[in-house]
Amino acid sequence: MSVKNVFITAEIGINHNGDMDITKRLIDVAVLAGCSAVKFQKRTIDKVYTREFLDTARQSPWGTTQRAQKEGLEFGKAQYDEIDQYCKERNIDWFFSAWDVDAQIFMRQYNLKYNKIASPVLTTLPILEAVAEEGRYTYIATGMSTWEEIDAAVEIFRKHKCPFELLHCVSIYPMEPHEANLLLIPELRKRYGCDVGYSSHELGNTATLGAVALGAVSVERHITLDRKMYGSDQSSSVEPAELITIVKEIRTMESCLGTGVRTFTERELSTRKKMRG
């Protein structure tokens, strides 16, 4: 088994806190670390949440209701236009995960290479249909999902002949290393005959490196400027210095895997001659 050029996604998600300066700094961090892409989340607030929920109390930097908090974290066209242009300037791909069909349709105005199905919406079949019909390479996160639910998602993408990759994911924020269940990576690959990646919210980096060793062809990690910042995803994200280290360690792990072919390097041949004559 050999894994080369693992696709590394820096998940910005909603960790930008509605601030374009923070967004650009996070994109810069991803570029500096050597990530392959950055990813965001897009919601149509009134489609995803009920009015009753949005009217409930929640203290945040944007107000005192759930609606104020959700709207404060949501970017519109002007912001995504700026993100699109900035990522082009920094020469890094970007994409998103939509939490409703309207959000997916809204984002079709951008010429993106990839789509993402987030774990919470894997069973929302209209979203899967809307994504699959676009025919873009799609990362499908499998957190919280049964085999039957994953079967149904895979069937939709194969029906539309849309290229996809499953992401092993454990939906715990943050996740302890012993909760990773990494042996599901080869099991997913065997069951569905497709590439498998790893989406993680773990503490540390052990499970990520183990995922690469088990053949994960992509890795997604949430990133933040500071885990102490406001936001539900900040504590399960990695800070800039950690991200740089993670990318370096993933690239080192790639080199450790080799080709799986039994051959001798010049260095080992030299040792063989010395020790075996």
Structural domain boundaries in the chain: 7-276
Q: For the structural domain made of 7-276, what CATH number should be given?
A: 3.20.20.70
Closest CA to 219 of 39, 54, 32, 26: 39
pLDDT value for 2 = 42
Weakest mean pLDDT among 40-49, 141-150, 262-271: 262-271
Token look-up 């500096």 returns: 32
- Asked if 61 and 17 touch (Cβ cutoff 8 Å), the reply is yes
Please tell me what DSSP assigns to residue 176.
P
Query: What pLDDT digit, counting tens, does each position of 180-206 carry?
Result: 999 999 999 999 999 999 999 998 999
Residue 135 predicted with pLDDT over 90: yes
pLDDT value for 203 = 87
User: What is the reported pTM?
Assistant: 0.94
Q: What percent of the chain has pLDDT over 90?
A: 90
Write down the mean pLDDT value for the chain. 95
- Confidence band of 4 (pLDDT split at 50, 70, 90): low
pLDDT value for 9 = 98
Residue 3 predicted with pLDDT over 70: no
Query: The tokens of 262 are what?
Result: 């039994």
Residue 150 predicted with pLDDT over 90: yes
Which residues does 191 contact at the CB level (< 8 Å), separation at least 6? 147
Helix 206-213 × helix 240-257 angle, to 10°: 30
pLDDT value for 1 = 42
Mean pLDDT of 147-165: 98
Which residues does 27 contact at the CB level (< 8 Å), separation at least 6? 12, 38, 83, 86, 87, 90, 92, 94
Dist CA 127 CA 98 (whole Å) = 8
Query: What pLDDT digit, counting tens, does each position of 248-257 carry?
Result: 999 999 999 9
Residue 6 predicted with pLDDT over 70: yes
Which residues does 228 contact at the CB level (< 8 Å), separation at least 6? 234
**Helix ranges, 34-140 (H):** 45-48, 51-54, 66-72, 77-90, 101-106, 125-132
